[in-house]
Amino acid sequence: MSAEETARASNFIRDIIEEDIKSGKHKEIVTRFPPEPNGYLHVGHAKSICLNFGVAAEFNGRCHLRFDDTNPVKEEQEYIDSIKEDVKWLGFDWGKHEYYASDYFQQLFDWAVLLIKEGKAYVDDQNADEIRNTRGTLTEPGKNSPHRDRSVEENLDLFNRMKNGEFKNGERVLRAKIDMASPNINMRDPVLYRILHASHPRTGDKWCIYPMYDYTHGQSDSIEHISHSICTLEFQDHRPLYDWFIKALPVPAEPHQYEFARLNLTYTVMSKRKLLRLVQEKKVFGWNDPRMPTISGMRRRGYPAAALREFCDRIGVAKSNSTVEFAMLENCVRDELNRNAPRFMGVLKPLKVVVTNYPEGQSDFFDAENNPEDPTAGTRKVKFTRELYIESEDFMENPPKKFFRLSPGAEVRLKHSYYITCKEVIKDNDGNIIELRCEYDPESKGGSTPDGRRVKGTLHWVSASEGKRAEIRLYDHLFKQENPDKVEEGTDFLDNISPDSLEILTDSIVEPALADLKAGVTTQFLRMGYFCKDQDSTADKLVFNRTISLKDGWAKIQKNQPD
């Protein structure tokens, strides 16, 4: 079974929608992606984005982008802008259907008043700790608030006074009157409104009470006539409350909530709270640090959007939580880049080579293919000169057997150009190798000789006079453990940060053509991996992020799986 077929088979949400269409339950499919603008989106959100926008497109429906902006203390315009950029970058468009929970504040307030009038909500004077302590446990029922039986008139008066700003933060809340003995704790008189004297980015100081998420999102779904309200498994126990509100209020539609397993990825944390700590405590350079699992971080690292979409398709949509190997994501990235990334030569740790029998001042130009996987990508010219750089690891003075790169007396092929043989090794006063003196075979131009001899080693190189200096940032996993959330008592997840997650090389040499590359474009450096030109690049200083190595870890994992 192909990866696509596997993903389709495991997407139970798609199966539900398909059946709803066949049965006539829904004539139009409307989904929504409802992020809270209190941080940057991560790869787990990418799964939800691809699911909601994907099924809507598949069934000729639409997907709304709705911001759950009910907490003005934590929300910023920066986050809203980043979320919109991420969704568009992934390849999806909400068109005119951009909404905000704050669009519905007046309607939500009016419905809250209706709940009070019908005896289904009351104002509670208990503080947060008192409410928490009287809510009960999984085995013990909660205790009724002493204010639960207030009259409708008193509740309406207090709620309006809450709205008018007469009380301090936390002094009173509005709660639904459901059942303090319910086996589902979420049904034990949940809080609908809290007092929060804070200016809202969109509504300003109009409101000083703000609705809670459990009250807001279901009614927002109804107002927007969402047909399938899709969320992650942690909201499964909240579904009875979602349904309770819909039945208790005169809403214009009755959407249904469906839950799917969230994405868990090895070597990664997905908690917004933890990601925020990484940023605030400067363990990373920001939300878009290429080591972060944020969509913006992956974009800056050079991951293609198509690779993330393919990854989400491959993992499918299931009903039970599981953890996906990070190597599977890397495999999707590597497959996409192998097909589409242009090829260049870059020397990360350069070692100077002087071709002593090549005439000074002379140069040759060779045609180099831009992508062997794509004949239409064409070729470029690379300039060969007397002095050039090779990778320092491609030379060994005393090599072991089966070392097919350069060593004293050995002959190798320089990619696209000539065969060279090492004749002399130059060292500094400390015994460090600083230069190689080599000779070239003029008859080997283009990589072949009249006598038909072959060499086993082919090295990449860059002309010393033509090459451009570059800073190369080599990224690895931010965490050294597969499950960084698993910590021993007295320790913190930050203790699992790997000291080797970033290595910076400042003296690398790359082909001059890379200077004209736009920031954000990912290329393959022959033999070294895939690298993305970073936004920090300037005319005087090129900066590249290693997106991923050429080695495929996922293939090894799959090979070791039991039959």
3-state secondary structure of 9: helix
336 is catalytic: no
CA gap 355, 335 in Å, rounded = 37
Distance of CA 239 to CAs 4, 234, 245, Å? 31, 10, 10
Q: For residues 324 and 43, is the Cβ–Cβ distance under 8 A?
A: no
- All residues at 6 or more sequence positions from 475 whose CB lies less than 8 Å from its CB, including other chains: 290, 291, 301, 501, 502, 545, 546
| Per-residue DSSP letter, 406 | B
CA 219 from centre of chain = 29
Place of tokens 């990589």: 447
Catalytic position from the list 74, 84, 120, 262: 262
- All residues at 6 or more sequence positions from 363 whose CB lies less than 8 Å from its CB, including other chains: 383, 384, 385, 463
H-helix or E-strand spanning residue 163:
helix 152-163
36 is catalytic: yes
Catalytic position from the list 14, 32, 36, 439: 36
272 is catalytic: yes
Catalytic position from the list 14, 177, 272, 343: 272
Q: Cβ of 131: how many Cβ atoms within 10 Å?
A: 18
Range list of H helices, 198-356: 213-223, 239-248, 272-280, 295-301, 305-315, 326-340
**Which token pair is 140?**
């013990």
**Which token pair is 143?**
């205790």
H-helix or E-strand spanning residue 505:
strand 502-510
3-state secondary structure of 125: coil
**Bridge pairing between strands 458-459 and 379-384:** unpaired
Task: Please identify every residue annotated as catalytic.
Answer: 36, 262, 272
